[in-house]
Chain A
Amino acid sequence: MRKFAARAYIWVLLILMYAPLVFIAIFSFTESRVLGSWDGFSTKLYQNLLTGNMQGNASLLSAVQNTLIIALIAALVSMMLGTIAAIGIHNLKGRKKQAITFLNNVPMINPDIITGVSLFLLFVFLGISQGYLTVILAHITFCTPYVVLSVMPKLQRMDSNIYEAALDLGATPAQAFWKVLVPELKPGMISGFILAFTMSLDDFAVTFFTRGTIGLDTLSTYIYADARKGGLTPELRPLMTLIFLVVLILLLVINIRQARIAKKNYIKQKLYKY
């Protein structure tokens, strides 16, 4: 009985949480311009999305494109900057380490709107005209701390001498970095990259304040503008549905892969232990 109550609670919550998403998904399969009215089953909206021949505002596709490009660049730069920074921070000691760790935490604790406003003021102050570049810089600012945090535990678990060991065996500092440090840190770097990428995809407020007035739209700012105009571009429905699916599949794959790696390691350990 208690088990039933517990399960019921979980499922009711899940159903409530997913109701809006399911609702959008259902209505992505009808042609109706207005959400909520069913004009019969159709994949027309999906076709429109793929061909770019939109019923509503055609800039949706360029917004999606911008979002992906910005997220990709920001995540890549963050991954590199954050990894090198993490190695540096790991080798720092005492007060210097505390200070930079604290600074690294600031962008994570700061609400988006503060990050957005403060960076907006910075670009105004420096006289940098806002657009693609400023949005990417802003995204790097709030993404890099997550990379640092993902790489740090890997460094802590690593034998501090392996870099020296590589040098000792004749590797140049560059070879030691690429052949030993990077392979060791790769898992942390990849999860940092994924975190940074999704953070960037997710962002609205920071982009909103740093994109300037050149009409640069990401998916978030597009949706915001679209909703404020009262309408809702019908093609957003299939787009959202696709995004839900992609994220869900990605998460499942990552977790299943992780579980499989864990299991493999476990078996290996068992096999070799005698």
Chain B
Amino acid sequence: MRKRSNWSLPYLIFLIIFVVLPLILILVYAVQDGQGGFTLGNITRFFTDKDALSTFAVSIEVALETTILCILIGYPAAWILSRREYNKSAVTIILFIMPMWINALMRTLATAQLFTILGMNLGKGTLLFGMVYDFLPFMIYPIYNVLVKMEKSYIDAAVDLGATPWRAFWKVTFPLSMPGVASGVLMVFMPTVSTFAISEFLTNNKIKLFGTIIQENINSSMWNYGAALSLIMLIIIGITSLFSKDKEQAEGGLV
């Protein structure tokens, strides 16, 4: 162990066993039939299964809607929190990010219970409402982080060059905050498109999401079809993560 670069070896082996190999296994199981022979049947089955396809469409739709709602509600909040003239207290920010640290299932359960008590019909509306509830902090925090670290002199320069505050915001602040938005999108879209328990709680099992189908298949020992569905989700995730590059940078350190 003279060379310290060798210290990465144990973790590399760990990563290969617990990250690379499992992902390969998803691919392997996805193209196998029950007896271990090669087949593309699992994948074609998805594309011919009307229920699965419509669930897939609903999942994407709900995830997109949740993400957009989170941006619309979260961006102004992040902006206000990042401005000293509106918010001087660190406690407000802590209150906004605290839900990130609490078990999502617990929060969702509380939300669903409140909806029931208030006599609301559990369905698409409550699903969206609940999802936004759950994931709003994950949108606010990265945007806030980028905004608060942004050099104030950029805006001063824009105003100095004759921009109105409104134009300065759209021409300078907003474009510069895009990395935060991107990582917010990643942190909201990914879990919403793949969630299963949350949607069950919020709709009383009325609306099925893609994650639920994966879970049902795996739990009823239909591993091959479950793996094929997971593979499809992996592809979606891969495409989404291409849109966000500076994830870690925007997330920053919380503790």
Contact = CB atoms under 8 A, between A and B. Distances in A.
Direct contact of A and B (CB under 8 A): yes
Interface of A: 3, 6-7, 9-10, 13-14, 16-21, 23-24, 35-36, 81-82, 84-85, 87-93, 96, 100, 103-115, 117-122, 124-125, 137-138, 140-141, 144, 148-150, 153, 163, 173, 190-191, 194-195, 198, 201-202, 204-205, 208-209, 219-220, 223-224, 227-228, 232, 236, 240, 243-244, 247-248, 251-252, 254-255, 259
A113 B236 CA distance: 13
B18 A141 contact: yes
B105 A84 contact: no
Contact of A14 (B22, B26, B96, B241): B96
B8 A92 contact: yes
Contacts of A110: 234, 237
B98 A247 contact: yes
A100 B233 CA distance: 23
B230 A23 contact: no
A91 B1 CA distance: 13
10 contacts: A7-B80, A35-B113, A84-B11, A88-B4, A109-B247, A113-B211, A122-B18, A144-B11, A240-B106, A243-B103
A13 to B, nearest CB: 6
Given A100-B12, A252-B91, A9 B80 contact: yes
Given A118-B26, A227-B109, 15 more contacts: A10-B92, A17-B137, A18-B95, A36-B117, A85-B7, A88-B6, A103-B20, A109-B190, A119-B18, A119-B22, A173-B1, A202-B103, A208-B215, A209-B215, A209-B218
Interface stretch (B40-48, B150-158, B172-180, B191-199): B191-199
B4 A87 contact: yes
Contact of A23 (B1, B73, B110, B195): B110
Given A111-B193, A113-B214, A20 B111 contact: yes
A125 B223 CA distance: 11
B191 to A, nearest CB: 6
A182 B226 CA distance: 44
B81 interface: yes
A100 B109 contact: no
Say what secondary structure dominates the interface of chain A.
helix
Contacts, number: 236
Given A14-B96, A17-B133, A103-B20, A81 B10 contact: yes
B15 interface: yes
B60 interface: no
Contact of A117 (B114, B226, B237): B226
Contacts of A85: 7-8, 10-12
A84 B10 contact: yes
Contacts of A205: 196-197, 211
Interface in B95-122: 95-99, 101-107, 109-114, 116-117
B53 interface: no
A4 to B, nearest CB: 10
B15 A104 contact: yes
Contact of B101 (A35, A148, A204, A247): A247
